[in-house]
Amino acid sequence: MAAGTIKQKTLKTEIGCTGVALHSGLKTSLTLKPAAENTGIRICRTDLLNGAREIIVNWENVVDTRLATTVGNDHGSTVSTVEHLAAALAGCEIDNVLIEVDGPEIPIMDGSSAPFVFLIECAGTVEQSAARTAIKILKPVTVGDENRSVSILPAEDFSLAFEIDFDSSAIDRQERTFQRIGADFKSDIARARTFGFDHEVEALRSAGLARGGSLENAVVVSGDKILNEGGLRFDDEFVRHKILDCVGDLYLAGGPIIGEVIASKSGHELNNALLRAVFADNDAWTRVEASTPSVQEAEQMVSAVA
C-alpha cells in the first residue's frame, strides 16, 4: 500500500481552563480555539489591546529561555512557559490553534503536558483540507559544547534520545529514547512533571520567579529525597520531562520534524539554538508533505526496531 498524505488538524470546539502561573503565582485563564488551516499556533493576550495582543508561536519569536520558553512580538508583549502546551499540541498532532490567555504566562497546571492533552481530547479534533507539512533534516547540525549539546541528523522519521546527569542521587544519570512512530506520547511522556531543587526555591522567589511553584505542580528534590508525597510517576520521570520540554520547544519549528535528535543535558536555550542553526542553513532542511508510511516502509521500521 502506498503512503498517504496527512491532513492538517485543529480542534473541533473551543475549551478552556484556569490555573496558577508558575512564576507570578497569579490565577490565569486559558482557552484553546479552533483555527483555520495554515494558521499555525497563535496566542492572543486577552488582557492587552489591538496589535499587542497576538503572538505567533514559533522559533523566531522566542525572546527568553531562562527556566522556560517565552515568546513575544514586536510590541514587547510576551507569554512564557509555552513548552508544555506546545508539547501537548505536538503529541496530539494539532497544527492550527488559537490560544487565548489573560496574562503573560501559560498556567502551569500539574507541571506536565497531561492536563493540556486532556483538554485537547475533550475538545476533539477535526481534519482540515490542507496537507500537513514537516521539516525534513538534510544534514547534521549540532549546537552546544562538550558539556551540553543537542544535535539533529537526517532520518526517515522523528526520534529523540536524551540523557541527563545531575549531582543528586535522587536523579543521577538517566537516558531515554522517544520515537513518535509506535510510541504513545500520552502515556510515555505527557505525564512527566517539571522538577527543581528545594535549595533553589528561595533564590528564585527573591528574583520574582517560581511564586506559583508548589508540590502540586512540580517534583521537588531535597538531597537524595523526593519531597512529593506521592513520589514519582515514573522511575525516570526527570529525563522524560526533559524529553517533553524538548518536544515542545522543537514544535516551534512550525511543524513536525523528520530527523534524529540526540541531546545531552540540553535545555530551552540549546533547543531553540538548534532550530536557529537549522533554519540559518538552507542546505540543512526542506519542507515536505507529511505522509503515512507505506506497508513496505512500516515493515522496514518494525524490522529495524526488532
- DSSP labels, the chain: ---EEPEEEEESS-EEEEEE-TTT--EEEEEEEE--TT--EEEEETTS-GGGGEEE-SGGGEEE-SSS-EEE-TTS-EEB--HHHHHHHHHTT--BEEEEESSSB---TTSSSHHHHHHHHHH-EEEEEEEPEEEEE-S-EEEE-SSSEEEEE--SS-EEEEEEE-SSTTT-EEEEEEESTT--HHHHTTTPPPEEEHHHHHHHHHTT--TT--TTTSEEEETTEE-STT--SSTTHHHHHHHHHHHHHHGGGTS-EESEEEEES--HHHHHHHHHHHHT-TTSEEEEE-EEPPHHHHHHHHHHH-
Q: How far apart are CA 71 and CA 51, in angstroms?
A: 15
- Supply φ then ψ for residue 202, to 5 degrees: -60, -45
Assess contact for 85 and 245: CB atoms under 8 A: no
Q: Which residues are catalytic?
A: 268
Residues 213 and 203: their CA atoms lie apart, in Å, by 13
Distance between first and last Cα of the chain: 22
